Chains A and B, each alone.
Chain A
Amino acid sequence: MSIAPPSERLWWKQPMPRVEVAWIAIAFLWGLVMFFMMIYWHAVGRQNLANVTYRTTPEVFAAKADSMIEKYKVREEAGFPVVHPPPGSDVYLIARIWMWWPILELEKNQSYRLHLSSLDYSHGFSLQPVNINIQVQPGYEHVLTLTPNQAGQFGIVCNEYCGLGHHTMAGRIYVVDHS
């Protein structure tokens, strides 16, 4: 029994049943498939993180975002500046309690270098309904190259608990179709 010492003292010399050997082989191969699938996706897939990250401070990051906002602000909504940066440019999005600052207006099928950082706690960048979720940390400036391929209005929900106003922390991205 499994609750008694093995009845064969030299149990490691007993052959394994064939069914076990076969299943171990299948499971091991499946593990390899799943392992190489991640590497394969880096080669051919279009949804990967480049993991480009810089050390920063809240002050430096806020200053960069402010200068972008000043340059490319097109209007205001609910007290938030709406920024329309040129395609291919560096776009800064501030996470802080409890807002995503500013509102971004991007063009469909254009790429942007999106810089994410937090000024205080950890926050979670959750782009909806696309469902892209990325962690945002204070002190780290995370850069992703993002290519919106749908036009419309998108929400940014914070999905890392960041204090009692967490449930009000939602931002917005507009994607406009110029083609």
Chain B
Amino acid sequence: MTASSSFRICPTTGLKVDLGAQSLIRANAVAAVVFLAIGGAFGLSVALTRWPDVHLLPLDWFYLALTAHGLDVLLCWIIFFEIAVLYFAGAILLGCRLAAPRVAWVAFALMVVGAALANVTVLQGQSSVMFTSYVPMKAAPNFYLALIIFAVGALIACGVFFGTLVVAKEEKTYQGSVPLVTFGALTAAIIAVFTLASGAIILIPTYLWSLGLISNIDPLMYKLVWWAMGHSSQQINVSAHVAIWYAIAAIVLGAKPLSEKASRFAFLLYILFLQLASAHHLLVEPGLSSEWKIFNTSYAMYLAVLGSMIHALTVPGTVEAAQRKRGFDKGMFEWLRKAPWGNPAFAGMFLSLVMFGFLGGISGVVMGTEQINLMMHNTLYVPGHFHGTVVAGTTLAFMAVTYLLIPLVFQREVRFPRLARWQPYVFAIGVSGISLFMMGAGTLGVARRHWDITFADAALPYHYPTAAFLMLTLNGIFALLAGLGGLMYLVVVVGSVFFGKQTADSPVTRPAPAPASGAAVVGAYGSAGTLRIPGTVILVGVFFAAFVLYYFVNWKYLAEIWPLR
């Protein structure tokens, strides 16, 4: 192969940017944002329908919007963006040309076709089967076909990423091991292959079933394999957004890992154990043993949770160490107070980190406990949890890194810097409200995916506690706030990408004075003896205390419900 690609050197970071990769990153990121806008609008309409006094959508539109919301944000927005992240972490961080850009364009085309077909099919109205499409409820065949086409495209894109790693190694574009961020992206890509393969294994027969070529799909088998895609794909997001946390800390503050060993080990734990997570959705299912449930729901003995808990120390730790190195070394928290809170990339990253841990992380582990799940399965607690992970965690991290990609990859200045400055805060407050109030409603028993919790049309109505209605009202209000944050993001992105000033050498994000050489930083911290991160230790202590407390409080609640076995 001839290395005929052309490169430019980014004036801000000094990174060598392959122009082929650059176009592909742009295309995937733009597609991602388009689907975020569509899916976000559907999501807002769902929240406004749940708001009892508004009750926006009619019955059939509610379930249609709910199906489309899941599809557009959970699948399209996130996977398109992840492909952009893979190409960035592969080609650009390694200073390498992208392997087979033509194939990457084919992958992109397939994903666009799949995503568009899925939306059209759902909008036709015969496929309001929710994102999970549990059999034996049947969608139009094109619904499954669209997902298969999308997944094949994403799988090919992962292949392009792997190919790029091989090319970089062959052509010796870097020395030693790949950067930590690339390692995290590689983790995401490996999990993605497992995930997308599981999706193919279940969706292909389901497609044939919807065409009438297969007579029966077992509902339990469907659920088991579907969630090997559905939940494991959330672990792609975790790996990707953790990699982005490290990337933002590095680009904005010049941070380096406390130790490569711990951070990489944590990613490795994801690869080894996260795929067991399908069990989280099967804890109150008939036909499975408790031994199976306990082993799988805990990722063997909480070994993937261990990975996330390691990052919970090492990510803020890397920020603290870098800040102390930059001179903010006074007391416990000067490093945090004087962090670049006005830089939306950093603010978004840190908010994402905190909310992912406190809202999404703790609730996920508690809900994934075999017996405690009895009190939470299929209540609004579940979407409350995953809006803490996928929206407050992943989406906010992706938004944050966008502010770096705009100058670096799109070569534009960030327009409306004031708006951009506030965007992560508005979105974060909105999303934390959505997450908390849905969890609150779920704790009060409110069912998820439910059009009318007043049961006005039911023969034997049940009345949820009044507090549940308050929770859903607050959920609606905070959804409006999150929607505003999403709109601010769109305005900044569209404004910058299409109407922003071309950057040559005046990017809006001011990275830390780049360390003269990597070696200079190493001397300062990273060695076992000299590292000081007392502020992080306190933050992690608070997190751990909240975790333990909330965990045991739920056991106490469990002990109070009707005995059953």
Residues of A participating in the B interface, judged by any CB pair closer than 8 Å: 1-9, 11-12, 14-20, 23-24, 26-28, 30-32, 34-35, 37-39, 41-42, 45-51, 53, 77-80, 99-100, 103, 116, 120-122, 124, 126-142, 144-150, 155-164, 166-172
Which residues in B have their C-beta under 8 angstroms from that of A159? 377-379, 447-450
Q: Identify which of B177, B219, B548 contacts A139 (C-beta below 8 A).
A: B219
Q: Is A131 touching B561 in the complex (CB atoms < 8 A)?
A: yes
Residues of B participating in the A interface, judged by any CB pair closer than 8 Å: 59-60, 63, 93, 129-130, 134, 136-137, 174-181, 218-220, 246-247, 249-251, 254-263, 282, 284-290, 293-294, 298, 301-303, 305-306, 309-310, 313-314, 317-318, 365, 369-371, 373-379, 443-445, 447-453, 455, 457-465, 515, 518-519, 521-522, 526-528, 531, 533, 537, 540, 544, 547-548, 551, 555, 558-559, 561-565
Which residues in B have their C-beta under 8 angstroms from that of A137? 219-220, 285-287
Q: Is A7 touching B449 in the complex (CB atoms < 8 A)?
A: no
Which residues in B have their C-beta under 8 angstroms from that of A162? 137
Which residues in B have their C-beta under 8 angstroms from that of A140? 219-220, 286-287
Most chain B CB atoms below 10 A, which of A12, A27, A39 = A27
Q: Identify which of B93, B177, B301, B551 contacts A32 (C-beta below 8 A).
A: B301
Q: State the Cβ distance, B551 to closest chain A Cβ, in Å.
A: 7
Q: Is A53 touching B287 in the complex (CB atoms < 8 A)?
A: yes
Q: Is A34 touching B377 in the complex (CB atoms < 8 A)?
A: no
**Dominant secondary structure of chain A at its interface with chain B:** mixed
Known A34-B298, A49-B290, A164-B59: A6·B218 in contact at CB below 8 Å: no
A sample of 16 cross-chain residue pairs with beta-carbon separation below 8 angstroms, ordered by A number, consists of A2-B181, A2-B247, A4-B93, A4-B250, A5-B174, A6-B260, A7-B521, A17-B526, A23-B540, A41-B555, A129-B445, A129-B464, A135-B285, A137-B285, A139-B218, A145-B564
A61 to B301 alpha-carbon distance, docked (Å): 38
Q: Identify which of A2, A35, A138, A157 contacts B302 (C-beta below 8 A).
A: A35
Given contacts A38-B298, A167-B458, 6 further A-B contacts (CB under 8 A): A16-B259, A17-B259, A48-B290, A129-B465, A159-B449, A167-B451
A81 to B133 alpha-carbon distance, docked (Å): 33
A47 to B449 alpha-carbon distance, docked (Å): 26
A146 to B464 alpha-carbon distance, docked (Å): 22
Q: Identify which of B284, B375, B544 contacts A135 (C-beta below 8 A).
A: B284
Q: Is B518 touching A1 in the complex (CB atoms < 8 A)?
A: yes
Q: Identify which of A45, A131, A172 contacts B460 (C-beta below 8 A).
A: A172
Which residues in B have their C-beta under 8 angstroms from that of A53? 286-287
Q: Is A130 touching B371 in the complex (CB atoms < 8 A)?
A: no
Which residues in B have their C-beta under 8 angstroms from that of A146? 562-564
A59 to B258 alpha-carbon distance, docked (Å): 63
Q: Is B564 touching A48 in the complex (CB atoms < 8 A)?
A: yes
Q: Is A24 touching B306 in the complex (CB atoms < 8 A)?
A: yes
A28 to B265 alpha-carbon distance, docked (Å): 13
Which residues in A have their C-beta under 8 angstroms from that of B247? 2-3
Known A48-B564, A135-B284, A164-B63: A17·B528 in contact at CB below 8 Å: yes
Q: State the Cβ distance, B339 to closest chain A Cβ, in Å.
A: 17
A43 to B220 alpha-carbon distance, docked (Å): 27
Most chain B CB atoms below 10 A, which of A136, A149, A157 = A157
Which residues in A have their C-beta under 8 angstroms from that of B256? 1-2, 7
The 3 A-B pairs with the shortest beta carbon distances in the complex, nearest first, are A155-B462, A31-B302, A142-B286
Which residues in B have their C-beta under 8 angstroms from that of A48? 290, 371, 564-565
Q: State the Cβ distance, B10 to closest chain A Cβ, in Å.
A: 12
Most chain B CB atoms below 10 A, which of A2, A9, A37 = A2
Q: State the Cβ distance, B57 to closest chain A Cβ, in Å.
A: 12
Known A51-B286, A159-B448: A133·B374 in contact at CB below 8 Å: yes
Most chain B CB atoms below 10 A, which of A3, A31, A126, A132 = A3
Q: State the Cβ distance, A120 to closest chain B Cβ, in Å.
A: 7
A130 to B559 alpha-carbon distance, docked (Å): 12
Of all chain B residues, the one with the shortest Cβ separation from A161 is B449
Q: Identify which of A47, A139, A156, A158 contacts B558 (C-beta below 8 A).
A: A47
Which residues in A have their C-beta under 8 angstroms from that of B60? 164
Q: Is B562 touching A3 in the complex (CB atoms < 8 A)?
A: no
Q: Is B284 touching A35 in the complex (CB atoms < 8 A)?
A: no
